[in-house]
Amino acid sequence: MAEQLYAAVISDALDAAGYRKQALRHTIRPLTPTTVVVGRAMPVLCVEVYKIPDEPYQQEIAAVDSLKQDDVLICSTNGSTRICFWGELLSTAARARGARGAVIEGFIRDARQILAMGFPIFTTGLSPVDSNGRGDVVAYNVPIECGGVTVNPGDIVFGDADGVVVIPQAVETTVIEAALAKVSGENRTRDELRAGATLREVYDKYGIL
């Protein structure tokens, strides 16, 4: 899927299926322009806290340890600028369990180490601070809202340089088939444009722009 599709064409297919609010906010960006992630959503809800707990990280550890093959951990912090939820050790643990990557509506740290290991990350920013006493996981593997989009466990998460889109399970087959068909149409459109056809001619022929 990652080799054939991209976020923009999936977004168009979602639009055509009547799902017009499936792109996460533009502030959630890949750690590098070439980062691509695709997998099944394992949603996590993290909230701000203002006290260091007696036993920190309990739900955070449980959430990461629950990851399965081909999961993408997708975490909402409600846009917090205090919580740095993700780092290199969590990336290492997630990869060892077969996870494809992580999408964090919040900050991450250990960027240099994560880049070196090549683990796909999308985030709203970077910060060196620890999550202990600043944020706590209150639920995981439950429906959440992340980046303005409702995300259910098992939904398909796809992210690239343009951003992150979420495909609901109920329409995943329809959307993926439509996206693949549009890629084929875009390829024909591109070939004819390169051969000298006008944009009007090609649009009238294929209806793709």
Domain boundaries defined on the chain: 23-167, 174-206
**What span, in angstroms and rounded, lies between the C-alpha atoms of 178 and 66?**
32
Q: And the tokens for 71? A: 């999961």
- DSSP calls for 141-167: SS-EEETTEEE-TT-EEEEETTEEEEE
Q: How confident is the model at residue 209 (pLDDT cuts 50, 70, 90)?
A: confident
Mind listing the pLDDT tens digit for each residue in 66-101?
A: 999 999 999 999 889 999 999 999 999 999 999 999
Total residues found in the chain within this entry:
209
**What span, in angstroms and rounded, lies between the C-alpha atoms of 82 and 183?**
40
Average pLDDT score over residue span 149-172:
98
Better pLDDT: 164 or 208: 164
Residue 182 has pLDDT above 80, yes or no: yes
Better pLDDT: 192 or 209: 192
Q: What is the pLDDT of residue 1?
A: 80
Q: Which residues pair with 45 in a beta bridge?
A: 76, 139
Residue 201 has pLDDT above 90, yes or no: yes
Q: What is the pLDDT of residue 3?
A: 86
> Identity (one letter) of the amino acid at 117?
M
Q: What is the pLDDT of residue 79?
A: 86
Q: How confident is the model at residue 117 (pLDDT cuts 50, 70, 90)?
A: very high
Verdict on whether the full-model pTM lies above 0.85: yes
**What span, in angstroms and rounded, lies between the C-alpha atoms of 96 and 174?**
32
**Closest to 114 in 3D by CA, of 35, 6, 45:** 35
Kindly report the average pLDDT of the chain as a whole number: 97
- By CB atoms closer than 10 A (0-12, 13-18, 19+), residue 14 is buried
Q: Do the beta carbons of residue 31 and residue 121 sit within 8 Å? A: yes
Contacts of 153 (CB under 8 A, 6+ apart): 40, 41, 42, 43, 141, 142, 143
Number of neighbouring beta carbons within 10 Å of residue 70? 12
Q: What is the pLDDT of residue 187?
A: 95
Residue 110 has pLDDT above 80, yes or no: yes
Q: What is the pLDDT of residue 2?
A: 77
Residue 153 has pLDDT above 80, yes or no: yes
Q: Which CATH class is domain 23-167?
A: alpha beta
